[in-house]
Amino acid sequence: MIEFEALMRAIHKSVKDAAKSVEGETVDFINRFFEETTDDESKSDNHSVMRPKTCTMQFPSRTADGIETVTAEVPLLALVPISSPRITEVKFTTELDITTNKDEKLLVSFPKPRKRSFFSSNDSSDGAPSGNATIEITLTGDEPPEGLKTLIDGYERALRAQIPG
């Protein structure tokens, strides 16, 4: 048996570790679509300047002289579907055996599945846990900042300004 508080701390730590893993995905995302500039001025200020990775694309444009080709620098970020993984909710549901110790602290344990007896009826001993309580813990995450969405919207507007029509 463990203290209920210790169980909650373990669950909370696991969720925090999972959230950190998701944050690492965001850093990988930035590195995939941006590159650090080699500007000497930014290095002297002890900060880096990131610029979007781009590709050059040509688009047809109707002019008075007919169809001409216009070249545009397209941020790769504006060409790919964006999905931002994040943990919004964690549900933990289990059967528990709950008791108290001499200090009146809650102690919990996970019950073992009941063994099926040859003579038992199918509905009374189905191998399910037989705890004396059921607990459902729900943890909900906060909304991420709108910075990334705003950044992508800005690059999409800049791209639309380059493309005729």
pLDDT in tens, 19-32: 888 777 777 888 89
Q: Which domain holds residue 95?
A: 2-111+129-162
- Confidence (pLDDT) at 124: 47
Whether 133 is covered by a domain: the verdict is yes
Amino acid letter, 102: K
Whether 119 is covered by a domain: the verdict is no
From 90, 91, 92, 89, select the one nearest 143 (Cα to Cα).
Answer: 89
CA distance 30 to 154: 16
Give residues with Cβ within 8 angstroms of 47, minimum separation 6: none
Q: Which long-range contacts (CB under 8 A, 24 or more apart) does 16-19 make?
A: 18/87, 18/90, 19/87, 19/141
pLDDT in tens, 105-163: 888 888 877 666 666 555 544 555 566 667 676 656 555 567 777 888 888 888 888 87
| Biggest alpha carbon–alpha carbon distance for the chain | 93
Whether 29 is covered by a domain: the verdict is yes
| pLDDT band of 55, cuts 50, 70, 90 | very high
Q: Is the pTM of this model over 0.85?
A: no
- The answer to whether 30 touches 75, Cβ cutoff 8 Å, is no
From 164, 23, 149, select the one nearest 78 (Cα to Cα).
Answer: 149
From 164, 157, 155, 165, select the one nearest 55 (Cα to Cα).
Answer: 155
Q: What is the mean pLDDT of residues 8-13?
A: 88
pLDDT in tens, 59-78: 888 888 888 888 888 899 88
Whether 136 is covered by a domain: the verdict is yes
- Confidence (pLDDT) at 115: 66
| pLDDT band of 15, cuts 50, 70, 90 | confident
Whether 57 is covered by a domain: the verdict is yes
**How many domains would you assign to the chain?**
1
Look over the chain and give the mean of its residue pLDDT values, rounded to a whole number: 78
Whether 63 is covered by a domain: the verdict is yes
Whether 121 is covered by a domain: the verdict is no
Q: What is the mean pLDDT of residues 36-54?
A: 76
Strands 106-109 and 89-100: antiparallel
Q: What is the mean pLDDT of residues 37-65?
A: 80
Whether 17 is covered by a domain: the verdict is yes
